[in-house]
Amino acid sequence: MILRSRAPTRISFAGGGTDLPEIAKVMGGCVTSGAITKYVYGTMKERGNKKLVIASQSSGKREKEITDASAIKYNGRLDLVKSVAEELNKDGLGFEITLSSDLPRHSGLGVSAAAYAAVIALFDGFYKLGMTRREMAELAFTLETEKLNNRVGKQDQYAVVFGGLNFMEFDRSMNVKISPLKASKKIVEYLEKNLALFYIAERKKTAGTTISKQLRSGSLEAFRKTKELGLKSREALERGDLEEFGNVMSLVWRYKKTFGGATTKSIDKIYGAAINAGAYGGKISGAGGGGCGFWLCRPHKKQGVIDALEKKGAVHIPFSFDFDGVKTWEE
The CA-atom distances, in angstroms, between 168 and each of 9, 74, 148, 179, 228 are 16, 32, 24, 6, 13
pLDDT above 70 as % of the chain: 93
Contact between 112 and 153 under an 8 Å Cβ cutoff? The reply is: no
pLDDT of residue 288: 63
Report the alpha-carbon distance of residue 190 to residue 167 in Å, rounded. Answer: 18
pLDDT of residue 203: 64
Report the alpha-carbon distance of residue 192 to residue 267 in Å, rounded. Answer: 23
Question: Comparing 164-178, 204-218, 228-242, 292-306, which segment has the lowest mean pLDDT?
Answer: 204-218
Does residue 180 surpass a pLDDT of 70? yes
Mean pLDDT calculated for residue range 131-143: 98
pLDDT of residue 282: 95
pLDDT (tens digit, 9 = 90+) per residue, 40-51?
Answer: 999 999 998 999
Quick one: which of 304, 312, 230, 316 has its CA closest to 264?
312
Looking at per-residue pLDDT, the higher value among 166 and 262 belongs to 166
Report the alpha-carbon distance of residue 318 to residue 180 in Å, rounded. Answer: 23
DSSP, collapsed to helix, strand or coil, labels residue 44 as strand
Does residue 309 surpass a pLDDT of 90? yes
pLDDT (tens digit, 9 = 90+) per residue, 82-120?
Answer: 999 999 998 999 999 999 999 987 899 999 999 999 999
pLDDT of residue 205: 55
Report the alpha-carbon distance of residue 95 to residue 185 in Å, rounded. Answer: 42
Q: Tell me the pLDDT of the chain averaged across its residues.
A: 92
Mean pLDDT calculated for residue range 162-171: 98
Select, from the ranges 220-224, 239-243, 290-294, the one with the highest average predicted confidence (pLDDT).
239-243
Domain annotation for the chain: domains and CATH numbers: 2-181+322-330 (3.30.230.10), 185-316 (3.30.70.890)
On whether the pTM is more than 0.85, the answer is yes
The CA-atom distances, in angstroms, between 258 and each of 108, 288, 301 are 18, 12, 29
pLDDT of residue 59: 62
